[in-house]
Amino acid sequence: MAGERRPLMAANWKMNKTVREAQDYMAALLPRVADLAGEVDVAVFAPFTCLSEVARMAEGSGVLAGAQNFFYEDSGAYTGEVSVPMLLDVGVRASIVGHSERRELFCETDEAVARKTRRAVEAGLLPVVCVGETKEERDAGRMWEKVSGQVRAVVEGLGDAPGRSLVFAYEPIWAIGTGETASPEDAQDAIGRIRELLGELRGEGFAAETRILYGGSIKPGNISEIMAQKDVDGGLVGGASLEVDSFLQLVEAARG
Ligand code: PGA
């Protein structure tokens, strides 16, 4: 990984943990990441119900409290939605955008993902934008067509945001929660190509400073070889982030 991009290790709890469980997790995590001193960024993407508590506990610690989704309008008649100002109000500093589970199960389009990303960037909420292909798309040789289209839609909607204001996560859908990880070479291939595309779309400076994570069945046993890839800047972790001990092993590995 290039020296100028600080690694980011992110826990995606998905639809897991009560407030009490979130408190216990944060109480165990925070003292053990206190000495990271800028070596690696740590984020915890929690369900809405735990978010204000996670953000309160994380305040001043350097751990980013993050949401898993939001809507791009700030307020209004959008039953069931939560906006960026509402997240900022409770101390949330980041959010996942366009996770494949949201794209597939909740019909999120490239256009919606682009609008959400832009709103987050404008408001100073760090979006972690997920892209990735299905097994069928990969087998049909259409991985890059899918991923490049997703990246392009987001970048074209960005306005004049700098690279450091957003993060991408390449998450091949067939590797999420399946135990089947992309090989480190496949992760590097896709992430390297995303970085090249960022350069074509917005210039080399933007490409060089934008962090791109890998996600999909990351665990303590495979993180080192994934982090060793030159364009991989960290991980977005589901299953292996639910226990503090295994997430901490991943954070340590990202530290190098
Ligand atoms: P996983 O999930 O680590 O359980 O595969 C990753 C993700 O969906 O972000």
Distance CA 227, CA 248 (A): 15
206 close to 160: Cβ distance less than 8 angstroms:
no
Task: Give SS3 for 167.
Answer: strand
**Secondary element (H or E) of residue 64:** strand 63-67
Return the ligand 1 atom nearest residue 100 CA: 8
pLDDT band at 4; cut points 50, 70, 90: confident
Mean pLDDT of the chain: 95
Q: Count other C-beta atoms under 10 Å from residue 45's C-beta.
A: 27
Pairing relation of β-strands 94-97 and 211-215?
unpaired
**Would you give the DSSP letter of residue 62?**
S
Could you report the per-residue pLDDT of 46-92, keeping only the tens digit for each? 999 999 999 999 999 989 999 999 999 999 999 999 999 999 999 99
Number of residues that this document lists for the chain: 256
Read out DSSP for 189-247?
A: HHHHHHHHHHHHHH-HHHHHH-EEEEESS--TTTHHHHHTSTT--EEEESGGGSSHHHH
Residue whose Cα lies nearest atom 1 of ligand 1: it is 238
Choice from 130, 176, 249 to test ligand 1 binding pocket (greatest atom count within 8 A of CB):
176
Q: Within 6 Å (CB) of ligand 1, which residues are found?
A: 12, 171, 176-177, 215-218, 236-240
Could you report the per-residue pLDDT of 147-184, keeping only the tens digit for each? 999 999 999 999 888 888 999 999 999 998 888 888 99
C-alpha 240 to ligand 1 mean position (Å): 8
Enumerate the active-site residues: 99, 171
pTM: 0.96
Could you report the per-residue pLDDT of 106-158, keeping only the tens digit for each? 999 999 999 999 999 999 999 999 999 999 999 999 999 999 999 999 999 99
